[in-house]
Copies of this chain bind each other. A is one copy, B any other.
Amino acid sequence: MRPGPGGGPYSVAMSKGRLEAFSDGVFAVIITIMVLELKAPHGADWQAFRPLLPMFLTYALSYVFLGIYWNNHHHMMHASDRINGAVLWANLHLLFWLSLVPFVTGWMGENHFAPLPTAVYGGVLFMAGVAFVILEGRLLDAGNPRLAEAVGKDVKGKISAVLYLSAIPLAFVNELIADGIYVFVAMMWLVPDRRIEKKLSAPS
């Protein structure tokens, strides 16, 4: 899916507010329906509880990833003033990959981190990372000098993408390596992005 038609003439007509509101809605639904993958066990004893543990862990991990994306999305849009048609589609493209997170979370959790679901999980995260970089690019193309100043070269985004990509084959070697990579990337992003912060902490 191409990120969509080039933006020029749309620039004036777009409203950032509605894009944010729609994205927030999609984020809210994705992060919440993920819990539907946690199927209530039919028994009520500890036996019934045990298979829930890997599911709960993947749920928590995916929740953190989606929280990070929402956070970064929030900051990126906050530093932007102009959007256009290309931005709209790049944003939908990002949400597409994020919308697959509940599905791969359920699949990985149900199969106790088996290699294939673990690799597919990495693939979806990789595509979401790529989509985020594309969205950043479209926002810069649309002319957002405050964002341009703040973002620099987005090293962290690129490192994440490389790590996700490497997790895909490594899941077939040992799925624990891939799982470790996912946890590491999550940690890396939980540390706030000093670059954007610094620029934006000046009164706007």
Where the two chains meet, the residues of A that have a C-beta atom closer than 8 Å to any C-beta of B are 1-2, 4-5, 8-15, 18, 20-22, 24-38, 40-46, 48-49, 60, 63-64, 67, 70-71, 74-75, 78-79, 85, 88-89, 92, 95-96, 99-100, 102-103, 106-107, 110-111, 114-117, 120, 190-192, 194, 196-198, 200-204
Question: Contacts A28-B22, A28-B26 given: A111-B204 contact, CB under 8 Å?
Answer: no
Question: Contacts A1-B64, A10-B197, A27-B22 given: A44-B192 contact, CB under 8 Å?
Answer: no
Copy tally for this chain in the complex stands at 4
Q: A201 touches which one: B10, B74, B100 (CB < 8 A)?
A: B10
- Residues of chain B with a CB closer than 8 A to A28's CB: 22, 25-26, 28-29
Question: Would B99 and A40 count as touching, CB distance under 8 A?
Answer: no
Question: Would B27 and A201 count as touching, CB distance under 8 A?
Answer: no
Question: Would B35 and A103 count as touching, CB distance under 8 A?
Answer: yes
> How far does the alpha carbon of A197 sit from the alpha carbon of B86 in the complex, in Å?
13
9 more contacts with CB within 8 A, not counting A31-B99, A35-B102, A35-B103, are: A2-B190, A5-B192, A13-B78, A18-B24, A21-B24, A34-B99, A40-B107, A49-B120, A60-B96
> How far does the alpha carbon of A18 sit from the alpha carbon of B37 in the complex, in Å?
27
User: Smallest Cβ distance from A187 to chain B, in angstroms?
Assistant: 10
Question: Would A201 and B11 count as touching, CB distance under 8 A?
Answer: yes
> How far does the alpha carbon of A160 sit from the alpha carbon of B48 in the complex, in Å?
28
Question: Would A33 and B33 count as touching, CB distance under 8 A?
Answer: yes
Q: A107 touches which one: B2, B37, B41, B67 (CB < 8 A)?
A: B41
User: Smallest Cβ distance from A10 to chain B, in angstroms?
Assistant: 6
